[in-house]
Amino acid sequence: MKDMIPSRKEKGFTLIELVMVIVILGILAAFALPRFADLGGDAERAAIEGARGSVKAASGIAHSAWLADGSSPATITLEGETITMVNGYPTADTEADTTDGTSGTQGIVEAAQVVDDFAVDFDGTDTVEISNDGCSFTYQNDGSNPPVISAVSCP
């Protein structure tokens, strides 16, 4: 019976054991930390990839609405917004951009509802660049079917 009760000397950890555990945890943390250090860059890329997906979906939805309206209207209405169409797809210009001189024109940026969340740069003809913290992609509708949506590029 006396053998079943541990003596006071067998309770707890020694100082050396505690130091070794701390050293091992430190080594593991040193290897794991670089994997999680650049989460900001991944988040920025994910945000712009989401915007690109929204632009692709909005382009398809607008094209479907255009086809449903008889394949001839110059504009369609999506969620209360009038979207200007070229050859069945939303134009690249945007009312948020003053460089094109067409006040009130709403294109793919409004259709995809990304105008308030991302920087929009319209080149004045048929291409709009959507960017966020260095990452960007372009939407080009020069009348070809379907418009060209570039891959996301980040520095």
pLDDT digits (tens, 9 = 90+) for 105-118: 688 888 888 878 88
Residue extents of the structural domains in the chain: 39-149
pTM for the full predicted model: 0.70
* C-alpha–C-alpha distance, residues 83 and 6, integer Å: 81
Read out DSSP for 50-119?
HHHHHHHHHHHHHHHHHHHTTS--SEEEETTEEEEEETTEE-S--TT-STT--TT---HHHHTT-TTTSE
In one-letter notation, the amino acid at residue 57 is A
Confidence of residue 57 (pLDDT cuts 50, 70, 90): very high
Check whether 58 has a pLDDT greater than 80: yes
